Amino acid sequence: MQSTMMNAPLSLNHLLERAGRLFAGNEIVSRRPDKSLVRHSYGEFYRRTRALASALQGLGLRQGDRVATLCWNHHAHLECYFGIPAAGGVMHTLNLRLAPEEIGWIADDAQDRFLVIDDVLLPLYEQFKHRYTFEQVIVYPFSGGQALPKGMLDYEALLAGADPDGLVYALHDENDPVAMCYTSGTTGRPKGVVYSHRSTVLHSLVGSLPDFCSVHGSDVVLPVTPMFHANSWGMPYMAVMMGAKLVFPGPHMHPDDLLDLMTAEPPTLALGVPTIWMTLIQTYDASLKTGAANAGRWKLPTGLRSLVGGAAVPEALIRAFDAHGIWIMQGWGMTETSPVATISYPRAELRGASADEKYRRAAMAGVPVPLVELRARGDDGSDQPWDGHSVGEIQVRGPFITGSYHEVGSPADKFTEDGWLRTGDVASVDALGFVKISDRTKDLIKSGGEWISSVDLENALMAHPSVAEAAVIAIPDEKWSERPLACVVLKPGEQATPDQLDALLLDKSFAKWQLPERYEFIDAVPRTSTGKFWKLKLRERFPH
Amino acid sequence: MQSTMMNAPLSLNHLLERAGRLFAGNEIVSRRPDKSLVRHSYGEFYRRTRALASALQGLGLRQGDRVATLCWNHHAHLECYFGIPAAGGVMHTLNLRLAPEEIGWIADDAQDRFLVIDDVLLPLYEQFKHRYTFEQVIVYPFSGGQALPKGMLDYEALLAGADPDGLVYALHDENDPVAMCYTSGTTGRPKGVVYSHRSTVLHSLVGSLPDFCSVHGSDVVLPVTPMFHANSWGMPYMAVMMGAKLVFPGPHMHPDDLLDLMTAEPPTLALGVPTIWMTLIQTYDASLKTGAANAGRWKLPTGLRSLVGGAAVPEALIRAFDAHGIWIMQGWGMTETSPVATISYPRAELRGASADEKYRRAAMAGVPVPLVELRARGDDGSDQPWDGHSVGEIQVRGPFITGSYHEVGSPADKFTEDGWLRTGDVASVDALGFVKISDRTKDLIKSGGEWISSVDLENALMAHPSVAEAAVIAIPDEKWSERPLACVVLKPGEQATPDQLDALLLDKSFAKWQLPERYEFIDAVPRTSTGKFWKLKLRERFPH
């Protein structure tokens, strides 16, 4: 017997058409380089996006061709998110925080035909253009003040010359590609992940569910996560699907700027990496002190929900925001997983739990979302029990998880023989399905045959009132093979001694042998382009 | 270029496995024929469902074989929802409210191999067994008090003898069938709609979104909608996907019984047809009157949301519930659409609107949900503008909408040449995408070349404080071709004259020529098996 259901492909074009018809009056706000705000309606977004698609087809874009973007978060980048696939192309978001040589390498690997670039990023382009030549460079006049370099196209002129009504969507299968993004390359060369209509629509549906991002049409969404990092965690697609108002911060990521923006356009849903929120809450709390320079300048939005991921979220950060009535939802994922794979949310089973228990759970990576299968594989290749302490490598499978890499295929260190993605993250899973990441496989510290979790030590140290940040790395040890070294950043004007920190850790049930061998007090923890602690740099600085 | 995403099929088995792992401690409550409550954990549900699947395979069930159910809403029916597809079978829910001959005809049309039946429904089985013979009849001991008829199998014995751990899921494609349901046959013979893994998972994701059913894991869901009506609107699948507590009413649908159940196990989300809620709120409001027999017996759950559909929801009903803090979300769909196709929800654009405007919108069918394309086709075959007044036949398309019928194919009166489903409902769509159903095509009244909407008249009449229900039909008229006849049910002890009702309609901006030709005051509006007004019966009673 056959199902009688229609054979209707999942498609981003449907989400675009839907938004144009249903949400024409809703708003998209973008912050310009000069910090002024520019407003577009969804209706304008719809017509501009169709015009972009029409123009790209006019430029000769063929099905499957890559169009790179090198842009901050703003409305024109959103137009690329939908307009490039509408033309049949594949949007490839280049990461502007990478070294120029690496950007060039990645564009070459992807064989991008066109580039859409913010005018303010042309100086960066100058630094990698020797490495790769695009057929067309389309400049978005984000600052509006720059003369168009010779041979380049003006984004606005291109749209003005195209007919939004004349667009004929490229015919497509739901498995056809719509976007690609490169892994951060912390382990080896960056590798391209290529998303499809199907994977993107499914990820949008799952991520928007009430227990996860809970995206309502009445939400005001502030994506601080760059649109060149794993599709800004898929939020642009989700927001457009539901018709939510979007507020884009443009290039202004300084805590003062974000607080200004949040005061002017109060979001109900924000997303970003922990470091952004850490500095933001410190800046805000400082403004509340008597006689503070910024006293009264900012107002944190009431009832804001914030999705935080990209690195482990310290419990102290969750408590600090909760004190202001802002709930932090921790998510975990990677470029390879679209990226939302797990989210920590208030489970029905925890209704009667203590506040401490709720914070403890909120500080975990969370539970797998629907359509994501997850297992923790032990060293012996068998599944670890979900008992809350047995650890193994997290492996995942599902329709919005990559099964290979562009041009690289499915290397054995990234995929199992039975087709699961090897994430490289080591975690335990408890009886409620909460995943607790201990470490990246390569960040675990092996001391005397026992594993020490650098993440656990970092989170405990960051709960100390004087500690702003802490990063723990392994240093070689003749007797124990490896021992932990704690690099600690103190808050301005605050003090803490190694003895005090040791006492804190013992108080938090760490064993004596798990305590750091040594403390280094440093000015700042070096960060990768995605805002994560860059432990490689610390290891270079403290080789022993 | 190819997408690198995994080829992972959408599957109900994934939802079952997920529920078993993540939500083992959550609860499923069912009301027995003797009105006692029986409680199962999700963990038990998971193991019992796997045991059922294992047992069905042991009985020789082959991929694609139909297993009929003839059951009320309870946990064992939920086990069938997941266990039959897990075994590779297709669950076919038989409608126990149909005439026995029709049930037999439908079982024959579907060629059901097995039947799972509640013991309390065996007398019904006796009435249609001459019409069709199942290979196996499995009796669920719902009342527990009946002796097992010879040759039949006991559901509990079957599960006890099967090994849940031994289950090997039938290998499947995501387009393979999982369930089937017959249309109500108001226009011609009932026709079978066959859902797939894909359509069911997609419908569950879309329906659960925050603006629509908004299914949280912490919800307590009361599906009053029978599980044999369009999959109980998909709620069993949605609830299990999110891990929500389920409260099943069993065979007890009387308002007193539902109010007792809602008082004992307060739901946060309920669903059912308007008539159920109409009588329920009348019963509850009566209990609040001084000296009422049931004073103090019931408590309506605070913050309850209720999805109401299956027939037009009168604005008066929405206002009556809102007065108790219960928000009614109107949905529209049909067996052919899985069924949720549109839902009326509070749009961002209506934030500043008056209460009257919000009620007006809530009384519409709502806006199309994601993945559903919708158009209103005029008589001339062109799309009607979304202007709020131009009406046309609603046609829909999407991955959880049927493209044909079992054994019948795609008749031209049900599908357009370009592959859209013709719903037979006539509606306007406004600029925000709100669909307003005027009528079923065949229920429109054509008076002097102009259409009169019976639904509009009914809703206006039901706003009168003395009117419990109103149904408007067409009667033949020599001069005008057709004229409206209003059949009115008054509330107990209340009075209303035709003149008073005419005055109300004129007050609500009806034109004089749109007023009913005549009023008939009747005791009750006859209903179809799905609880809708059965106008065919009224037309037979009032032929002129």
- pLDDT tens per residue, range B210-248: 999 999 999 999 999 999 999 999 999 999 999 999 999
Residue of B nearest to A337 (CA): B5
User: Residue A187: pLDDT above 80?
Assistant: no
Question: Which residues of A form the catalytic set?
Answer: 183, 336, 446, 451
Question: According to the model, what pLDDT value does residue B544 have?
Answer: 85
Question: Residues of A with CB below 8 A from B374's CB?
Answer: none
Question: According to the model, what pLDDT value does residue B133 have?
Answer: 97
State yes or no: is B540 an active-site residue: no
B420 and B483 together in one domain: no
- The tens place of each residue's pLDDT in chain B, 544 residues long, gives 999 999 999 999 999 999 999 999 999 999 999 999 999 999 999 999 999 999 999 999 999 999 999 999 999 999 999 999 999 999 999 999 888 988 999 999 999 999 999 999 999 999 999 999 999 999 999 998 778 999 999 999 999 999 999 999 988 899 999 999 998 755 568 899 999 999 999 999 999 999 999 999 999 999 999 999 999 999 999 999 999 999 999 999 999 999 999 999 999 999 998 888 988 999 999 999 989 989 999 999 988 999 998 777 889 999 999 999 999 999 999 999 999 999 999 899 998 999 999 999 999 999 999 999 999 998 888 999 999 999 899 999 999 999 999 999 999 889 999 999 999 898 999 999 999 988 766 667 877 766 788 888 998 999 899 999 999 998 988 778 789 999 999 998 899 999 999 999 998 878 888 899 999 999 999 887 767 788 878 988 998 8
Question: According to the model, what pLDDT value does residue B381 have?
Answer: 86
Q: Which one, of B540, B426, B427, lies nearest residue B485 by Cα?
A: B540
Contacts of A542 (CB under 8 A, 6+ apart): A473, A475, A485, A487, A520
Q: Which one, of A390, A392, A386, A393, lies nearest residue A430 by Cα?
A: A386
Of A348, A371, A400, the CB nearest to B245: A348
Question: Residues of A with CB below 8 A from B211's CB?
Answer: 216-217, 242
A195 and A285 together in one domain: no
Owning domain of residue B506: 444-541
Residue listed under structure tokens 């086990």:
B79
**Is B299 among the domain residues?**
yes
A209 and A336 together in one domain: no
A344 and A376 together in one domain: yes
Interchain pair B3, A401: CB under 8 A: no
A515 and A420 together in one domain: no
Domain boundary among A188, A215, A242: A215
Interchain pair A196, B5: CB under 8 A: yes
A291 and A356 together in one domain: yes
| Nearest-CA distance A421 → chain B (Å) | 9
| Nearest-CA distance A370 → chain B (Å) | 7
Q: Which one, of B73, B97, B531, lies nearest residue B275 by Cα?
A: B531
Give the three-state DSSP class for B158: helix
A290 and A390 together in one domain: yes
ipTM of the complex model: 0.88
| Nearest-CA distance A486 → chain B (Å) | 36
Residue listed under structure tokens 């590609």:
A177
User: Cα(B435)–Cα(A199) distance, rounded to whole angstroms?
Assistant: 30
| Nearest-CA distance B469 → chain A (Å) | 33
Active-site entry in B451, B480, B491, B520:
B451
Size of interface A-B (CB pairs under 8 A): 204
Distances (CA, A) of A406 to A402, B105, B423: 10, 55, 44
Of B196, B245, B351, the CB nearest to A5: B196
Q: Report residue A505: phi and psi, to 5°.
A: -65, -40
Do A86 and A53 contact (CB within 8 A), yes or no? yes
Interchain pair B18, A198: CB under 8 A: no
Question: Residues of A with CB below 8 A from B26's CB?
Answer: 348-349
Question: According to the model, what pLDDT value does residue B99 have?
Answer: 81
User: Cα(A535)–Cα(A518) distance, rounded to whole angstroms?
Assistant: 16
| CATH classification at residue A349 | 3.40.50.12780
Q: Of the given ranges (A100-104, A304-308, B25-29, B103-107), which has the lowest mean pLDDT?
A: A100-104
Of B4, B194, B243, the CB nearest to A1: B194
A455 and A399 together in one domain: no
Question: According to the model, what pLDDT value does residue A103 have?
Answer: 94
Which two structure tokens, joined as six digits, stand for B100? 């026995």
User: Cα(A260)–Cα(A280) distance, rounded to whole angstroms?
Assistant: 11
Of B2, B345, B367, the CB nearest to A194: B2
Number of helices (H), then strands (E), belonging to chain B: the values are 15, 25
**Is A2 among the domain residues?**
no
Question: According to the model, what pLDDT value does residue A112 have?
Answer: 98
Interchain pair A210, B206: CB under 8 A: no
Question: According to the model, what pLDDT value does residue B449 have?
Answer: 65
Question: According to the model, what pLDDT value does residue B455 have?
Answer: 82
User: Residue A43: pLDDT above 80?
Assistant: yes
Enumerate the β-bridge partners of residue A490: A467
Domain boundary among B148, B175, B195: B195
Higher-scoring residue by pLDDT: B148, A312: B148
Question: According to the model, what pLDDT value does residue A442 have?
Answer: 64
Banded pLDDT at A185 (limits 50, 70, 90): low
Which of left, alpha, beta for A327 (phi over 0: left; psi -120 to 50: alpha)? Answer: beta
Question: Residues of A with CB below 8 A from B18's CB?
Answer: 368, 370
User: Cα(A50)–Cα(A38) distance, rounded to whole angstroms?
Assistant: 20
A470 and A492 together in one domain: yes
**Is A170 among the domain residues?**
yes
Question: Residues of B with CB below 8 A from A347's CB?
Answer: 217-218, 243
How many structural domains comprise chain A? 3
**Is B225 among the domain residues?**
no
Enumerate the β-bridge partners of residue B115: B68, B137
B48 and B188 together in one domain: yes
State yes or no: is B183 an active-site residue: yes
Interchain pair A3, B176: CB under 8 A: yes
**Is B263 among the domain residues?**
yes
Give the three-state DSSP class for A263: helix
A465 and A413 together in one domain: no
Which two structure tokens, joined as six digits, stand for A389? 């302490």
Of A14, A176, A351, the CB nearest to B371: A14
* Torsion, Cα of B174, B178, B184, B190 (10° steps): 90
User: Cα(A209)–Cα(B208) distance, rounded to whole angstroms?
Assistant: 7
User: Cα(A19)–Cα(B33) distance, rounded to whole angstroms?
Assistant: 48
Of B205, B217, B403, the CB nearest to A6: B403
**Is A242 among the domain residues?**
no
Distances (CA, A) of A346 to B61, B85, B242, B314: 40, 31, 12, 36
| Nearest-CA distance A325 → chain B (Å) | 21
| CATH classification at residue B535 | 3.30.300.30
Of B1, B7, B241, the CB nearest to A194: B1
User: Residue A188: pLDDT above 70?
Assistant: no
Question: Residues of B with CB below 8 A from A351's CB?
Answer: 218
Q: Could you count the other beta carbons within 10 Å of the beta carbon of residue A123?
A: 9
Please count the residues of chain B.
Answer: 544
Contacts of A189 (CB under 8 A, 6+ apart): none
Residue listed under structure tokens 């052919």:
B336
Which two structure tokens, joined as six digits, stand for A306? 């914030």
Please count the residues of chain A.
Answer: 544
Q: What is the DSSP code string of B284-340?
A: HHHHTSTT-TTTTS--PPTT-EEEE-SS---HHHHHHHHTTT-EEEEEEE-GGGSSE
| Nearest-CA distance B235 → chain A (Å) | 15
Q: Which one, of B333, B206, B180, B418, lies nearest residue A5 by Cα?
A: B180
**Is A408 among the domain residues?**
yes
Banded pLDDT at A480 (limits 50, 70, 90): confident
State pLDDT tens for residues A156-183. 999 999 999 999 998 889 999 999 999 8
Which two structure tokens, joined as six digits, stand for B86? 């897990």
B297 and B347 together in one domain: yes
**Is B245 among the domain residues?**
no
Domain boundary among A381, A410, A441: A441
Residue of B nearest to A179 (CA): B3
Interchain pair A348, B433: CB under 8 A: no
Question: Residues of B with CB below 8 A from A337's CB?
Answer: none
Question: According to the model, what pLDDT value does residue B189 have?
Answer: 80
| Nearest-CA distance A299 → chain B (Å) | 22
Q: Could you count the other beta carbons within 10 Å of the beta carbon of residue A271?
A: 25
Interchain pair B6, A419: CB under 8 A: yes
Residue of A nearest to B435 (CA): A22
- List the single best residue of B5, B238, B269, B420 to mutate versus A (max A Cβ within 10 A): B5
